[in-house]
Amino acid sequence: MSITSSAPSAPSLPLVVRTVPLDDLAQPPGLGAPSAAGDLADRAADLLALLPTQAPLAWVRRGDGLVAWGEAMRVEVHGPDRFADAERAWHQVLAHAVVRDEVRLPGTGPVAFGSFAFDDDSPAGGVVVVPQVVVGRRDGRAWLTTLTTGGHLGAAPRLADVAADGAGEQPRSPGAVTYAEGAVPAQQWPDVVSAGVAAIRAGEVDKVVLARDVEATAEEPVDVRWLLQRLARRYTSCWTFSVDGMVGATPELLVRSDQGLVTSRVLAGTIRRTGDDAADMARAAILAHSSKDLEEHEYAVASVARALAPFCSSSNVPDVPFVLSLPNVLHLASDVTGVLATPTDGRPHPSSLALAAALHPTAAVCGTPTQAAGALIRRIEGMDRGRYAGPVGWFGADGDGEWGIALRSGRVDPDDPRRVRLFAGCGVVAASDPAAELAESEAKLVPMRWALGSD
């Protein structure tokens, strides 16, 4: 087991957790029930405005979610057992925790954020961060959680007393941004796709997902809050996240576990939007009937359904995908749902992180068959993805939580915060056209390029 922790062991310094209602954030002034994208963006900004410049933690969608700051504890894991090692460390912390939760909603009480590498052998490994302060909002209710080590339960905390340095200040623009080629230059990347198509036609795999990166360099150090607020405002249907330098707005929910119910949003099959509503409606129809995209989507849905089946007593797998409209692209999407089976030995349901580990990597980010597609990626892709396309999200003391796939994302360089590595990937099947896949990857880079901009 490869684990490093920045905090003393749990028994000597137990985690002390206090959650209290936060009525003044439950409904922002002047807003009724959110009904429009602008309302949702305002609610998200209301949460994100609480974050500090340094190491902000966030998981926000449609104005609800969690934001956090500080580190009560940090656990780093590596290798193929990184998910199990992270969960084991979290249970060790919880075994000695002192908890008073006056709200009792998903996301209250002890909460940890995590981000994990795509590949077992990546040096990026994984990290679980237990913050010192969490502010959450869900369905018109808001709360404040403080997490400390080595103390005792005291008076109910107040947001004013635990506010982060710089909270409420306008995030800074990174200034002008220049872009450079990543590990594989754009003009050479179609050759990588061609190699993937050749492997498919040779029977090595049925589908493979290939990714590329771009290096962005800004004039000023990148204020992650700038990225978060812009992404949350424009991509309201996505999960906007920030964990340990990974930041983005993912449209793909790997798994949500909530009191025995599980949900996974699967995306595969993409077409770029034109900006003209009539033209985009026509493109949505083309996408919905594209044999190439439907084939790609079918592999992705089947891989999720197959991975969830051992854990569920019942499930619902849609026969036909719907078209998800984002500002830059249209996706084929399916929401796979299930009911977790009650373990016969009296043990609790598997945690959301355990489910994420069982699902990762899906065909939407790796390919089919999984093992062969992963080996092909390592052989021809030409880069280490790091934590791109890996699970990112949060989980609580009961194991419930939400884990997305780190897509439409970038990694802020910890040694030079002016630099951000952006990623995009595409599903490749036998009918894929390398030039079209390059164009699709450019479309998927748009959200992070836009987030770095100043328009």
Tell me the pLDDT tens digit for each residue of 411-444. 999 999 999 999 999 999 999 999 999 999 999 9
pLDDT value of position 7 = 41
Q: Which of 397, 108, 378, 65 is nearest to 57 (CA)?
A: 65
Backbone angles phi, psi at 390, to 5 degrees: -95, 170
Q: Is 207 a catalytic residue?
A: yes
Would you say 87 and 77 are in contact if contact means Cβ atoms under 8 Å apart? Answer: no
Q: Is 292 a catalytic residue?
A: no
pLDDT value of position 167 = 79
pLDDT value of position 156 = 82
User: Considering 252, 296, 381, 437, which one is annotated as catalytic?
Assistant: 252
Tell me the pLDDT tens digit for each residue of 78-125. 999 999 999 999 999 999 899 999 999 999 999 999 999 999 999 999
Gap between the Cα atoms of 364 and 370, Å rounded:
10
User: Considering 76, 87, 207, 440, which one is annotated as catalytic?
Assistant: 207
pLDDT value of position 10 = 39
Beta strands 57-61 and 239-243: pairing type?
antiparallel
Would you say 229 and 237 are in contact if contact means Cβ atoms under 8 Å apart? Answer: no
pLDDT value of position 348 = 79
pLDDT value of position 26 = 65
**SS3 category, 117:** coil
Gap between the Cα atoms of 161 and 170, Å rounded:
20
Q: Which residues of the chain have pLDDT under 70?
A: 1-12, 24, 26-45, 346, 454-455
pLDDT value of position 45 = 64
Long-range contacts of 193-199, Cβ-Cβ distance < 8 Å, separation of 24 or more:
193/426, 193/428, 193/432, 193/434, 193/437, 193/438, 194/434, 195/380, 196/376, 196/380, 196/428, 196/432, 197/428, 197/430, 197/432, 197/434, 199/376, 199/380
pTM: 0.92
